[in-house]
Amino acid sequence: MRSPIAIALFIIVIVSTLLITRWAARRTHSRAEFYAAGSSITGTQNGLAIAGDFMSASTILGVAGLAFMGNSDAVLYIVAPLLGFTVMLLFIAEPLRNLGRYTVPEVVALRFPGRAVRAFTAAAALVVTIFYLIAQMVGAGALIEILLGVPYSLAVVVVATLMMLYVAFGGMLATTWVQITKAVVLVIGVLLMTVLTFDRVDYDIDSLYQIARAQMDTVFTGNTTGALNSLYSTLSLGLALSLGVCGLPHVLMRFFTVPDARQARRSIIVAMVLIALVFLIVLFVLSYAAIAFVYGKPEFFDDNAVLRGGANMAVVHLSRLLGGDVLMGIVAAVTFATILAVVAGLTMASAGALAHDLYAQVFRRGAATEQQELRVFRVATLAVTVVAALLGVAFKGTNISFLVSLAFSVAASANLPVLLLSLYWRGLTRRGALAGGAVGLVTSTGMLIAGPAIWVDVLGYERALFGSNYPTLIALPLALVTAWATSMLDARHHTADARRVFEELSAKASQAEA
């Protein structure tokens, strides 16, 4: 599938993003500039960056791939995240902006000063970002291997090196502009493909659906094995995909880059509109176009009638069908930019948790100088890059959607309860926060390991200990109940001081609009 146009566009993406990094590096010197771009990003820019940060290659290509394989879960993957962004807007964005400066654990630590809660929330943030990073690395390696014909390991190393350069030298400013660039080219790419799809069916969308339905009747004969087959899995995956968004550290961290709460709100509104637009097009136009036009074209299938590069490549094959090598090159470059933007955001969040929370606050108890912390930030970026590259190679061939759902499940079960209860429940105690978060983390990861995807497919056992790959419906309520019960039993910590801290934080969280 290697085409000169695709290679040229890949090089343009790499050069452009490196130029952005060089420009950002000249403007990034202090801690505030590294972690939060000096809070100089406008709401609209940040909205574009959030959209760029959130819409990963696995989301776009994966959803179309699911639909292409006749898996109705595609609808669930599209509809759930917007609810999460609504919850984020209503309950999280403003308090986070008003209370925090650089990282999410910092906000929880305001309620519970000391090292324990901060260390736990930083560790949970790290777990989520590393899982997500592995998914992106596996996706990046596979995609670039197919699109450019380079070996998988080399592709992973190239992506890892680029993400390290963006973050270590350009900090949040470079990350933000890489994400903005990605969001813009993604929207342009998706709109271009939509116009070409409509042109192919003479601007009659019904005929597209009729062709797609006819193909479905011919191609899909057996049952698909998606989450929608079981009510438990449907609800659990829906909960993870929606509420998990609110616990993703790399998305939450973006609210520290804007100057005030009003711009934080604007960020989400812009992000939601863009994400809704792209998701609707991907599901209701591109997925059906892929089913309608790619099936029945032998050049896209191998000798075993399997789509070349797997189902995730359905949209890429569609682009070649609609616009030849030029459009395929554009789509491949957009995909590459998408991967780079997401991994940059994830690396930023991981390195921030390591340097700012674990090193500067937990180990050095706030005694580290700004220079020391920034040095550790760069070392942490390198460490995260090496770990991500190694894990990316080790997990080659692992189901990307599963890895993403793993990150979302842990985010929804461990990060979100602690953050929400810290912000809104007066009765939460330090022990309650720790117990709730720990139960959410252990239950979600434990149930994932005991589920069919790891216990049977990876570890090779005959039967899974837990029948579903989606733990959130159990892990999230369990985390909330544990936090509540532990806090209620922890009566000696319901002091006047604790109440005063909560009241002060509540006032500060809403202050910007006063």
Partner 1 sequence: MADESSEIVRRARARTRACLVLAGVSCVVFLIFLVLLHRSVQTHPLAPLRDVSFSFLGVGINFALALGSVVAFGYWRRVERMRAAQPPVKGPGR
Residues that bind partner 1 (CB under 8 A): 67, 70, 72, 74-76, 78-80, 82-83, 85-87, 89-91, 209, 213, 216, 220, 223-224, 226, 228-231, 234-235, 238, 242, 265, 268-269, 272-273, 276, 280, 283-284, 288, 424, 503-504, 506-507, 509-511, 513-514
Closest CA to 122 of 438, 436, 358, 386: 358
CB neighbour list of residue 28: distance below 8 Å, 6 or more residues apart: 34, 37, 169, 170, 171, 172, 173, 174
Residue 287 or 381: the one with the smaller Cβ distance to partner 1 is 287
Helix axes 400-410, 231-243, angle to 10 degrees: 70
Q: For residue 249, what are the CA distances in angstroms to 10, 185, 414?
A: 28, 24, 12
Task: Find residue 301's DSSP bridge partners.
Answer: 307
Pick the closest to residue 470 from 142, 238, 140, 223 (CA basis).
238
CB of 276 to partner 1, least distance (A): 5
- Shortest Cβ 54–partner 1 spacing (Å): 14
Nearer to partner 1, 40 or 86 (CB): 86
Nearer to partner 1, 147 or 272 (CB): 272
SS3 content of the chain, % helix, strand, coil (to 5): 80, 0, 20
DSSP 224: -
| Nearer residue to partner 1 within complex by CB, 266 or 356 | 266
Q: How far is the CB of 422 from partner 1 (least distance, A)?
A: 14
Residue 280 to residues 63, 130, 192, 271, Cα–Cα distance (Å): 11, 29, 15, 14
Instruction: Output 30 or 225, the one with its CB closest to partner 1.
Output: 225
Distance CA 7, CA 5 (A): 5
Closest CB to partner 1 among residues 227, 252: 227
Copy the structure tokens of residue 14. 């790499």
Closer residue to partner 1, CB minimum distance, 77 or 169: 77
Determine the 3-state secondary structure of 461 from DSSP.
coil
| CB of residue 261 to partner 1, shortest distance in Å | 9
> Is there a contact between 136 and 342 (Cβ–Cβ < 8 Å)?
yes
Query: 């801290």: which residue's tokens?
Result: 501
**Shortest spacing between CB 424 and partner 1, in angstroms:** 7
Answer for the pair 50, 271: CB distance below 8 angstroms, yes or no: yes
CA-wise closest residue to 210 among 295, 321, 291, 273: 291
- 61 exposure class (CB count in 10 Å sphere: 0-12, 13-18, 19+): buried
Give the nearer residue to partner 1 in terms of CB position, either 151 or 296: 296
Q: Which residues contact 468 (CB under 8 A, 6 or more apart)?
A: 230, 232, 233, 236, 447, 451, 452
Tell me how far, at minimum, the Cβ of 42 lies from partner 1, in Å: 17
Output 266 or 320, the one with its CB closest to partner 1.
266
Minimum distance, C-beta of residue 502 to partner 1, in the bound complex (Å)? 10
Smallest distance, partner 1 to C-beta of residue 426, A: 11
CB atoms within 10 A of CB 69: 19
Taking the least distance from each CB to partner 1, the nearer of 318 and 391 is 318
**Min CB(3)–partner 1 separation in Å:** 31
Residue 205: CB minimum distance to partner 1, A: 9
Q: Give the DSSP H or E segment for 447.
A: helix 430-450
Nearer to partner 1, 89 or 353 (CB): 89
Report how far apart, in Å, the C-alpha atoms of 281 and of each of 48, 252, 311 are.
17, 26, 18
Question: What's 306's DSSP letter?
Answer: P
Considering the complex, what minimum distance in angstroms separates the CB of residue 110 from partner 1? Answer: 16
d(CA 254, CA 50): 7
